[in-house]
Chains A and B, each alone.
Chain A
Amino acid sequence: MNYKLILIIALTVLCQACVVGPQYTPLTQETKASVKQVELYNLVLQDEVKPAVRLSNVTGALGGGLIGVVIDSNVNKGRSNTAQDIIKPLYDITEDYDYRKVIAETYNRSVANELPIKSNKEIAETILFTNKELLKKIKSLKDGEALLYLSSFYLFLNESKLLTTETLAFLYTNNSNGKKPSSKAIPKPIFFNNFTYESKPTGNGNEDSIALWSKNNGELFRETLQEGLDFISKKLNYELQANLNEHCFIKVKSTFASQLNINTRLSGTLVEAKDGRNTIRSSRGFLISTERPYTIVKQKKSKDCE
């Protein structure tokens, strides 16, 4: 066995223990007031929707180890192949669909309502900034200028029953908390949040679901993606208003689908419940929209909320 592979596997297993994602950073009125002009960098890395693949995780079940990794690699290769075959009718019918154009149109309009946009493009970007490039970009910002960096993903989950859209939003200035950025590290954004929109379940899974998403030239697929983007752009605006007052919102528990678990536990505050759709702010501050039911967590109300 290749020595290098063993080292990479060891590193992968070790890193599973120390991965910490970015933390929610709300925008304050003060920092918002300091922003006079915003450059928008709207990134979409995918060229088309990712198919639903239930990833094998024998490695996790065995608590690590080379045998598990080899099994996972082979099983996942086969599953990816099958997933590609299942989703082909949808890919064929949506060949003309340009998600990058749709997202640019939606987000450009929406962000301009809250922040003074200096420049935007009619189509989303394809180039991921390296850390060095991002740092260079942030350092080139003048006083009063900010960079709104949006990165979006869309994928099928749970045997293609669910279509999920996710956007990460970072707002950077050259003067974070009164400090100029160091020469090496990317400064903390003045605003960060993660927005997820989970569609309602469609079909019985796999070929059945793909047939429904594909019907009428992919009508449901196109509409659902637009709904997801509309939701996220509204919630992004809500956050960018920098006027949040969720102190009295009720605490709830629910679930949503992620790549590793279709019933990922979700606990947080109920931000909105409208037309059978619930928007929950998770305990990490992220905004997640789902049609799944929630249960109310009993808690003592503070006096000002009664």
Chain B
Amino acid sequence: MKFLIIVASVILISANSVSAKTKEPKVDPGDPAVLVYVAPKKTKKKPKANALKKIKAERALLTEVSQSCSFSMDNITDQRQNKDTIGHKWSAPLRVSGVDAWINAIKKEAFIDKLVEPANNVTNIQLKPALTRLYSYAQNMNLHGISALKIDIFVDQKLAETRRYRGLGSRVNWVNGAGEYHAVVGASVRDNLASLIQDLPNICDTFK
């Protein structure tokens, strides 16, 4: 047993020494980290065939929807029960601040910027979203991020329906860094908004 502990310690020490260049700055666990949205880098490379197919399909879907409905979306309000943390990494809580600005930056990039100019005389549908869950957790070698949105759908300024969407973001837990947990919750919000986009034709058909 002692031998195993010694071996494990040696490995841990060597892991820390080789990672000196990439090591995260020491953050007091008492200080909340500010969530900052970093948009994916735009490259000159052509997207891969699958990704291109997905982009085209999404564009076609939004163009079709724009013929019958016009969508607008308010800022996402924060209605989480737990506004202190987005989980914990081993024995340290993951405290974050700046969730409002962070999530609305994602919303702009993943939803608003994708909307297509609507045709004339279409049904105006207003979406009022609220963030109800945002957390992450480690499971074996993976990290998972979860987000839940409650969306009130207003047609002609009257509440017509409330729908709920959930997003999951997963990745391999490489170094158990706070940035990795932030990344999976960000991915979960993008996944969430992608589900909403897929549901727009259904919303439009219901209320047009």
B4 at the interface (CB under 8 A from A): yes
Chain A interface residue number, banded: 35 or more
Q: Does A273 contact B (CB under 8 A)?
A: no
Interface string of B50-67 (1 = CB under 8 A from A): 000000000000000000
Q: Inside 8 A of A126's CB, which chain B residues have their CB?
A: 82, 84-85, 93
Q: Across the interface, do B148 and A77 meet the contact criterion of CB distance under 8 Å?
A: no
Question: With the chains together, A12 CA to B85 CA distance in Å?
Answer: 26
Is B120 in contact with chain A by the CB < 8 A criterion?
no
Known: A8-B15, A81-B170, A127-B85. A18 touches B142 (CB 8 A): no
Please classify the interface of chain A as helix (H, G, I), strand (E, B), loop, or mixed, using the class held by over half of its residues: helix
Interface residues of A in 184-225 (CB under 8 A from B): none
A92 on interface, CB distance cutoff 8 Å: yes
Q: Which residues of A sit under 8 angstroms from B139, Cβ to Cβ?
A: 53, 55, 76, 80
Q: Which residues of B contact A92 (CB under 8 A)?
A: 164
Q: For residue B163, which residue of chain A has the nearest CB?
A: A92
In the complex, per-residue mask of B1-40: 1 if CB is within 8 Å of any chain A CB, else 0: 1001101100110110011000000000110000000000
| Minimum CB distance partner of A77 in chain B | B170
Q: Is A61 an interface residue (CB 8 A)?
A: no
A17 close to chain B: CB less than 8 A: yes
Say whether, besides A53-B139, A126-B93, A95 and B132 are in contact (CB < 8 Å).
yes
CB closest residue in chain B, given A89: B164
Of the candidates A14, A45, A55, which one forms a contact with B7 in the assembled complex, judged by CB atoms under 8 Å apart? Answer: A14
Bound-complex Cα distance A3 to B4 (A): 20
A72 and B133 contacting across the interface, CB-CB below 8 Å:
no
Judge if A168 is at the interface, Cβ distance under 8 Å. Answer: no
Chain A residue contacts of B164, Cβ below 8 A = 91-92, 95
User: How many Å lie between the Cα of A131 and that of B92 in the bound state?
Assistant: 9
What residues of chain B lie closer than 8 Å to A10, measured between beta carbons?
Answer: 11
Bound Cα distance from A2 to B175, whole angstroms:
11
A4 touches B15 (CB 8 A): yes
A30 at the interface (CB under 8 A from B): no
Q: CB within 8 A of B150: which of A95, A98, A127?
A: A95
Interface size in chain B (residues, C-beta < 8 A): 43
Contact A7 B93 (CB under 8 A): no
B175 touches A100 (CB 8 A): no
**Complex Cα gap A53–B140 (Å):** 11
CB contacts (< 8 Å) of A3 on chain B: these are 18
Tell me the complex Cα distance, A131–B30, Å.
Answer: 13
CA A17 to CA B142, docked complex, whole Å: 21
Rounded to whole angstroms, the CA-CA distance of A45 and B86 in the bound complex is: 10
What residue of chain B has the Cβ atom nearest to residue A80's Cβ?
B144
Residues of B in contact with A (beta carbons under 8 Å apart): 1, 4-5, 7-8, 11-12, 14-15, 18-19, 29-30, 80-82, 84-85, 87-88, 91-93, 95, 132-133, 135, 137, 139-142, 144, 146, 148, 150, 164, 166, 168, 170, 172, 174-175
What are 11 A-to-B residue pairs whose CB atoms are below 8 Å? A4-B19, A5-B174, A7-B11, A14-B8, A45-B87, A72-B140, A73-B172, A76-B140, A92-B164, A95-B148, A130-B29
- The residues of A with any CB-CB pair to B shorter than 8 Å are 2-5, 7-12, 14-15, 17-18, 45-48, 50, 53, 55, 69, 72-73, 76-77, 80-81, 84, 88, 91-92, 95, 98, 100, 126-128, 130-131, 133
Further pairs besides A72-B140, A84-B166, A95-B164: 18, Cβ < 8 Å: A4-B15, A4-B174, A5-B172, A11-B11, A12-B141, A14-B4, A14-B8, A18-B8, A45-B87, A47-B80, A76-B140, A80-B139, A80-B144, A80-B170, A95-B148, A126-B84, A128-B88, A130-B92
